[in-house]
Amino acid sequence: MSTPYAKLPAWADYGLIPLINLSVAFIVAGFVVLLVGENPLRAAVILVEGAFGKGTGIAFTLFYATTFIFTGLSVAVAAHCSLFNIGTEGQAYIGGLGIALVCLSFDSTLPWWVIFPMAIVAAAAFGALWGLIPAYLQAKRGSHIVITTIMFNFIAASVMVYLLVGALKPAGSQAPQTRNFLAGAELPKLNWIIELFGAKIRSAPLNICFLLALVMAFLVWLLIWRTRLGYEMRTYGHSPKAARYAGISETRIIITAMMISGALAGMMALNPVMGDQHNVAIDFVSGAGYVGIAVALMGRLHPVGIVLAAILFGMLYQGGAELAFEMPAISRDMIVIIQGLVILFAGALEHMFRPYIQTLFASFSPKSVGMQAVKGTGA
């Protein structure tokens, strides 16, 4: 039998199983909270209220989600081509360099709506370039993409440190970051949308990158399922032999997929750099690339799932910050533990409960699982 699991109905596959995984993650996290002597239910309430209770919270949640949508999409595009891009972190970091170059050059002369498209192109191009090198090494030399992309994260970090304490740092400044951009390189906020619903927002960094992220999610869907290139990527992803048979060039498809993945990663930098900090600082990506892996896995590599998973992680970031503030016993590190549990259950142990659910479904309505006759192995 070639498929390890029979198929579940779509709603169970994409709704029920993630929900169960998530619940288990929260239950286990609850025990951790209990262990440090706090009330897990109150902690959960603070977490959710912190993320969605007030307008400002929602805006912050969506701001973080924007970042994770980009990195999640980046990981997913490569994964559809069976490439495990761990280098989203570094590609995003280098994407920030592209943005810095555009913004520092033009922020005094051009308006934001001219600079923004230029910055998008620069971020995508720099990220793609950082994905290209490992892709080339994989396609031509067989160097494993997991290893090379991890190494390129370190190289990216070193390059950026070198530039941010040197060439990009304004003379006389003590901080390892570029000068602050002028108004021309600041992106419009989207807080007014939330205010339309009557919520009050003090100040939050939610900006038009959120819309860009949603557009990219749609474009990724289009790419993967509706274009010839996406078809070729999926063919290679499922079966390199079938791709060879179909006349798809292995080199071309690996390089293309990784460049698109890198471009999406690079575009992530637009959100914090142009939308929030208005400068490029050391370590501004701060792990969002790795969170992207969890987001992509939890979203089942589908853009809709990725957007939802990104919002979940945005909630954990925002609500977690509130929680650390409200409950001193729960430190910032505790939040990281909770996030880790979510990643563990939703990502790594994704299939843990699947066989049980399947048995359950099969016993209620066998038709729903689309079980096939067990075929004889006769030649």
Partner 1 sequence: MAQAAIELIGINKSFGAVRANRDINLQVARGTIHGIVGENGAGKSTLMSILYGFYQADSGEIHVGGKPASIHTSNDAIALGIGMVHQHFMLVDNFTVLENIILGAETDALLKSSIAKARSELDRLEREYGLEVDPDAVIEELPVGLQQRVEILKALYRGAEILILDEPTGVLTPAEADHLFRILKQLKEQGKTIVLITHKLREIMAITDTVSVMRQGTMVATRVTKETTVGELAELMVGRRVLLRVEKGESEAGAIKLSVKNLTVKDSRGVTMVDNVSFDVRGGEIVGIAGVAGNGQSELLEAISGIRHAVSGEVTLDGKPIDLTGKADPGELRDRGLAHVPEDRHHVGLVLAFEENENSILGYHDDERYLKGPFLNVDAIMADAKEKIEKYDIRPGNPRLRTANFSGGNQQKIVLAREMEQDPGVLIVGQPTRGVDVGAIEFIHKRLIAMRDQGKAVLVVSVELDEIRSLSDRILVMFAGRVVGERGPDATEGELGLLMAGVEHQEAAQ
228 binds partner 1 (CB under 8 A): yes
143 binds partner 1 (CB under 8 A): no
In which residue are the tokens 């999409």 written?
73
User: What are the CA-CA distances from residue 26 to residues 9, 41, 291, 316 (Å)?
Assistant: 25, 10, 18, 11
Task: Return the residue of 235, 261, 271, 339 that touches partner 1, per CB under 8 A.
Answer: 235
Task: Return the residue of 140, 144, 226, 252 that touches partner 1, per CB under 8 A.
Answer: 226
Identify the bridge partners of residue 189 per DSSP, sorted by sequence position.
207
* Residues in binding contact with partner 1, number by CB under 8 A: 37
374 binds partner 1 (CB under 8 A): yes
What values do phi and psi take at 10, rounded to 5?
-55, -40
Q: Which stretch binds partner 1 (CB under 8 A): 31-39, 169-177, 182-190, 231-239?
A: 231-239
The candidate with the shortest Cα–Cα distance to 208, out of 306, 298, 136, 120, is 120
Q: What is the DSSP letter of 189?
A: B
Closest approach, Cβ 229 to partner 1, in A, equals: 7
Closest approach, Cβ 51 to partner 1, in A, equals: 36
Closest approach, Cβ 243 to partner 1, in A, equals: 9
Closer residue to partner 1, CB minimum distance, 4 or 166? 4
Task: Return the residue of 3, 11, 202, 203 that touches partner 1, per CB under 8 A.
Answer: 3
Q: How far apart are CA 280 and CA 273, in angstroms?
A: 6
> 44 burial class (0-12, 13-18, 19+ CB within 10 angstroms)?
middle
251 binds partner 1 (CB under 8 A): no
SS3 280: coil
Closest approach, Cβ 350 to partner 1, in A, equals: 17
Task: Return the residue of 244, 252, 332, 351 that touches partner 1, per CB under 8 A.
Answer: 244
SS3 229: helix
372 binds partner 1 (CB under 8 A): yes
Binding residues among 345-364 for partner 1 as defined by CB under 8 A: 362
Q: How far apart are CA 166 and CA 307, in angstroms?
A: 37
Two tokens at 116? 């923004």
379 binds partner 1 (CB under 8 A): yes
The candidate with the shortest Cα–Cα distance to 252, out of 351, 140, 121, 97, is 140
221 binds partner 1 (CB under 8 A): no
Q: Which residues in this chain contact partner 1 in the complex, by CB under 8 A? A: 2-3, 6-7, 222, 226-229, 231-232, 234-235, 238-239, 241-242, 244-249, 362, 366-367, 369-379
